[in-house]
């Protein structure tokens, strides 16, 4: 591979460090709504609103992963990436991340059919999540993959979320937190696969910069989702 332009690309360590720094400082665990959630400050209605709206984000994941599949010319990459779709859709009805999320919706007292219908999703949440699918569709494959690297920060947030919810929201049935539990391990493996791909395929400084930009845009999407929730359900 040759470098485009005169500036050499970052070495792997420097590139990973940049991705981590830029992603971490914008990750949605710093959003006031998220801080309030983990501090036990959300009302039942706010928890319900988060679960209902975040489900729309969850439903976009297998769609954006199928778009990523469709952008690859490599059967080996497609084999690797495909499990993400299976992780969310399940191998049979009732399994997988989407079904687990609907059990969480039930666990927080929501009508599962209403959640599934997506009809009460806030417009701002919809726009933000749709922007994720658009990003993945319109950008080169390596940048689409880089946008998934928020998974770097996800195992930690999931582990903390389980403790926070069990402590502060005891009215939520503990076994309905299965989605969060499953993501602790899965997100670690997913982010390792994704970073390997990005390191191998972002072969110029320009491409590396665009990967960082894709990750930043992804953090903005997750942030905007919480902004929309905060506007509709203001914090006390």
* Binder among 10, 63, 216, 232 for its own copies (CB under 8 A): 63
Which of the ranges 66-74, 123-131, 157-165, 180-188 carries the binding residues for its own copies, by CB under 8 A? Answer: 66-74
The answer to whether 1 contacts its own copies (rule: CB under 8 A) is: no
Q: How far is the CB of 74 from its own copies (least distance, A)?
A: 9
The answer to whether 178 contacts its own copies (rule: CB under 8 A) is: no
From residue 132, give the alpha-carbon distance in Å to each of 173, 176, 217: 31, 27, 8
Q: What are phi and psi of 11, to 5 degrees?
A: -75, 170
Q: Which is nearer to its own copies, 83 or 188 (CB)?
A: 83
The answer to whether 86 contacts its own copies (rule: CB under 8 A) is: yes
Residue 96 CA to residue 92 CA, distance in Å, equals 8
Q: How far is the CB of 135 from its own copies (least distance, A)?
A: 13
The answer to whether 75 contacts its own copies (rule: CB under 8 A) is: yes
CB 31 within 8 A of CB 219: no
> What are the tokens at 3?
């470098």
Residue 204 CA to residue 4 CA, distance in Å, equals 6
Which of the ranges 29-37, 71-79, 120-128, 225-233 carries the binding residues for its own copies, by CB under 8 A? Answer: 71-79
* Binder among 36, 38, 59, 232 for its own copies (CB under 8 A): 59
Which of the ranges 58-66, 153-161, 170-178, 219-227 carries the binding residues for its own copies, by CB under 8 A? Answer: 58-66
The answer to whether 90 contacts its own copies (rule: CB under 8 A) is: yes
The answer to whether 79 contacts its own copies (rule: CB under 8 A) is: yes
Q: How far is the CB of 50 from its own copies (least distance, A)?
A: 22
The answer to whether 16 contacts its own copies (rule: CB under 8 A) is: no
CB 225 within 8 A of CB 24: no
Let me know how long the chain is: 236
Contacts of 179 (CB under 8 A, 6+ apart): 97, 100, 101, 103, 104
The answer to whether 107 contacts its own copies (rule: CB under 8 A) is: no
The answer to whether 73 contacts its own copies (rule: CB under 8 A) is: yes
Q: Where are the beta strands (DSSP E) in the chain?
A: none
Residue 83 CA to residue 171 CA, distance in Å, equals 33
Q: Which is nearer to its own copies, 71 or 233 (CB)?
A: 71
From residue 224, give the alpha-carbon distance in Å to each of 6, 63, 65, 218, 220: 36, 20, 21, 10, 6
Q: Where does this chain bind its own copies (CB under 8 A)?
A: 59, 62-64, 66-67, 69-70, 72-73, 75-76, 78-79, 82, 85-86, 88-93, 96, 98-99
């Amino acid at each position: 591979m040759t470098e485009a332009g005169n500036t050499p690309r970052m070495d792997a360590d420097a590139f990973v460090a940049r991705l981590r720094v830029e992603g971490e400082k914008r990750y949605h665990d710093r959003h006031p709504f998220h801080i309030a959630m983990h501090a036990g400050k959300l009302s039942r209605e706010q928890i319900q609103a988060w679960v209902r709206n975040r489900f729309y984000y969850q439903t976009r994941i297998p769609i954006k992963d199928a778009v990523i599949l469709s952008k690859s010319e490599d059967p080996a990459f497609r084999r690797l990436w495909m499990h993400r779709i299976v992780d969310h859709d399940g191998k049979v009805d009732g399994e997988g991340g989407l079904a687990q999320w609907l059990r969480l919706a039930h666990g927080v007292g929501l009508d599962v059919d209403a959640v599934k219908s997506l009809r009460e999703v806030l417009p701002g949440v919809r726009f933000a999540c749709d922007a994720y699918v658009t990003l993945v569709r319109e950008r080169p494959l390596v940048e689409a993959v880089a946008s998934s690297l928020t998974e770097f920060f996800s195992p930690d947030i999931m582990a903390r979320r389980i403790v926070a919810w069990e402590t502060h929201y005891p009215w939520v049935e503990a076994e309905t937190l299965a989605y969060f539990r499953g993501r602790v391990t899965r997100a670690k493996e997913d982010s390792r696969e994704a970073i390997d791909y990005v390191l191998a395929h972002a072969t110029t400084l320009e491409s590396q910069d665009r990967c960082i930009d894709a990750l930043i845009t992804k953090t903005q999407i997750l942030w905007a989702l919480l902004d929309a929730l905060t506007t509709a359900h203001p914090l006390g």
